Amino acid sequence: MVFGSAEAKGFDVVIVGGGAAGLSAALMLGRARRSVLVVDEGLPRNRFAPHMHGLLSRDGMSPLALLEQGRAEASRYGVEFAEGQVTGIERAERGFVVHGPVEALGRRVVVATGLVDVLPDIPGVQNLWGTGAVVCPYCDGWEVRDQPLGVIATSPMSRNQAHLLRQWSSDLTVFGAVEVGIPESELAGFAARGIRVAAPALEVSGSLGHITVRTAAGSHELSRIFVGARPRPADELLRSLGCATTDTPAGPFISTDATGQTSVAGVWAVGNVSDQKALVPIALGAGTAAATQINISLLEEEIAEALAA
């Protein structure tokens, strides 16, 4: 789809990011008879995973299949799509101009660009990411329950990941816990729950079900590795607009209200870009919550304009 570059095409809402949160918002807004454009790069965070879990009626479905179905559903309600990267968002007299593969004017803007997992610099982790090396016990713990598992510690926060993962398996090893600063009191908690501590991982190899972790002290054979990936929100567009942030244990994230509205009027942030813990079901709900509030804000604006006229 190509719009004329001389003049931006206008929409009620422009959504940047076509993942679960963005598509959920687009679907609801399309059903509300709002004109909607979704601009998406086609690089969802979970694209490496063959399945997703914990989503009612869609448990085990491919995340890419979910997005394909979501685009088809939203299209039925008139939602338009453009493929590519948004390079900037600027304020305009009646909303915001979105620059990217197309030039579009949106009365409201939704940013649903997600986050990037910054992986530890250990050979082999990147190659296994999304299959043999993952981050979320809720998403991937059941499939390897009661099997030998490992956690590659990357910060003191890895303590939480290890204790949580202990619910799925009693055969659990944490690599590099001491080196990343997990305190002695927490190491005692590991020992009390039967969680082993090993030297830092130097290399990871194999495939799901047959993972080898090499350390300076030897090798460990595991079924799956859980990695304390450091999340980095893809929030550059929101920051450029002046959206306020809130400090979290994972670093600053964009501040929003319960519907995803940011500190900048007319701008919403939904999904992982503003909530590190937004699993797919949560992201879907966040998109719906944002859409209903956006529609109300547009409606109130239209009422005021009608009265003024």
> Tell me, what CATH number does 134's domain have?
3.50.50.60
Are 35 and 63 within one domain?
A: yes
Question: What pLDDT sits at residue 53?
Answer: 92
Question: What pLDDT sits at residue 72?
Answer: 98
Are 195 and 246 within one domain?
A: no
**39 is written with which tokens?**
């601009």
Are 44 and 169 within one domain?
A: no
pLDDT per residue rounded down to tens, the chain (309 residues): 333 344 689 999 999 999 999 999 999 999 999 999 999 999 998 898 889 999 999 999 999 999 999 999 999 999 999 999 999 999 998 899 999 999 999 999 999 999 999 999 999 999 999 999 999 999 999 999 999 999 999 999 999 999 999 999 999 999 999 999 999 999 999 999 999 999 999 999 999 999 999 999 999 999 999 998 888 999 999 999 999 999 998 899 999 999 999 999 999 999 999 999 999 999 999 999 999 999 999 999 999 999 999
Residue 195 contacts by C-beta under 8 Å, 6 or more apart in sequence? 162, 163, 166, 172, 173, 174
Which pTM does this prediction carry?
0.91
Question: What pLDDT sits at residue 266?
Answer: 98
**Cα–Cα distance for residue pair 112/27, rounded to 1 Å:** 14
Q: Which domain holds residue 130?
A: 120-227
Q: How many domains does the chain have?
A: 2
Are 126 and 66 within one domain?
A: no
| 287 in a structural domain | yes
State the distance between the two ends of the chain, measured CA to CA, in whole angstroms: 35
Question: What pLDDT sits at residue 6?
Answer: 46
Task: Tell me if residue 31 falls in helix, strand or coil.
Answer: helix
| 4 in a structural domain | no
Are 137 and 40 within one domain?
A: no
Question: What pLDDT sits at residue 230?
Answer: 86
Q: Which letter does DSSP use for residue 295 in this model?
A: H
Question: What pLDDT sits at residue 298?
Answer: 98
Are 124 and 73 within one domain?
A: no
Question: What pLDDT sits at residue 250?
Answer: 85
Closest CA to 13 of 4, 5, 32: 32
Question: What pLDDT sits at residue 4?
Answer: 37
Are 65 and 43 within one domain?
A: yes
Are 185 and 217 within one domain?
A: yes
Are 41 and 53 within one domain?
A: yes
**Cα–Cα distance for residue pair 262/281, rounded to 1 Å:** 21
| 214 in a structural domain | yes
**Cα–Cα distance for residue pair 47/83, rounded to 1 Å:** 16
Are 201 and 151 within one domain?
A: yes
Q: Identify the domain boundary among 179, 196, 227.
A: 227
